Amino acid sequence: KADDDSVSTMISTLTVDSVEPPDSALLKKLCKGALAADRAGLEDLSALLVTRFETDSATVKLKVLRVLMVIAEKVPAIQDIWKTKYLYLVQAATNYETAPDPEHGDKPQMRVRGAAQKVMTILTGADIASAEAEAEAETQAAAEAEAPAAAEAQAAAEAQAAAEAQAAAEAEAQAI
C-alpha cells in the first residue's frame, strides 16, 4: 500500500487544473494501490478525491469524476464508500452549473454533468435519467390506475345520492 503522501501526490497530479489529460500510467498505479488497500485506505483515498472535487474548477471536477469512474469500476469496495458517504456530491454534479468558460462556453459544465451521470450509473447501477423516466412512468401508471377507481367511486356516490333522493320522494309521496 502506498503511503498517504504518495497517494495524495498521485491524486493532485491526476486532477491538476490543466487541459492535459491525466497520465494513464499514474492512474493504473493508483488503481493498483487502491486494489491492495484496506477499507481505511479507501476511505482516505476517497477523502482526498472529495477534497479535490470541492475545488471550484470544472476541469478539476471532471478529472476527479474520471479518476473515480476508473477506480470504481476496478475497485468495487470503493463504491460502498461513495454510495454511503459521497453520493450526494456526485448527484449534485449531475446538475452542475458554473459561469460559461470564455473559450469553451458551456462545454466544461456539460462534460462534468455527463461524467457525474456515468459515475452515478456505476455507483447505483442505474442511469439517473432512466430512473427519473421510470419514476414518472410509475406516477402516470398509478394515476391511470386510480382514475377508474375514482370514476367508480364517483358513480357509486351518484347512485347512492339518486337512491336517497328517490327514497325521500317516495317517503314524501306516502306522507301525502
- In angstroms, what CA-CA distances link 85 with 126, 143, 170? 18, 35, 71
Residue 160: its pLDDT value, please?
76
Residue 104: its pLDDT value, please?
87
Burial 152-169 (b: 16+ CB within 10 A, else e): eeeeeeeeeeeeeeeeee
Residue 1: its pLDDT value, please?
42
Residue 82: its pLDDT value, please?
95
Residue 134: its pLDDT value, please?
52
pTM check: above 0.85: no
Rg for the chain (alpha carbons), in Å?
29
The H or E element spanning position 8 is helix 4-14
Instruction: Report the chain (176 residues): mean pLDDT per 10 consecutive residues.
Output: 70 92 91 94 96 93 95 92 94 92 88 95 72 53 57 71 67 63
Residue 172: its pLDDT value, please?
62
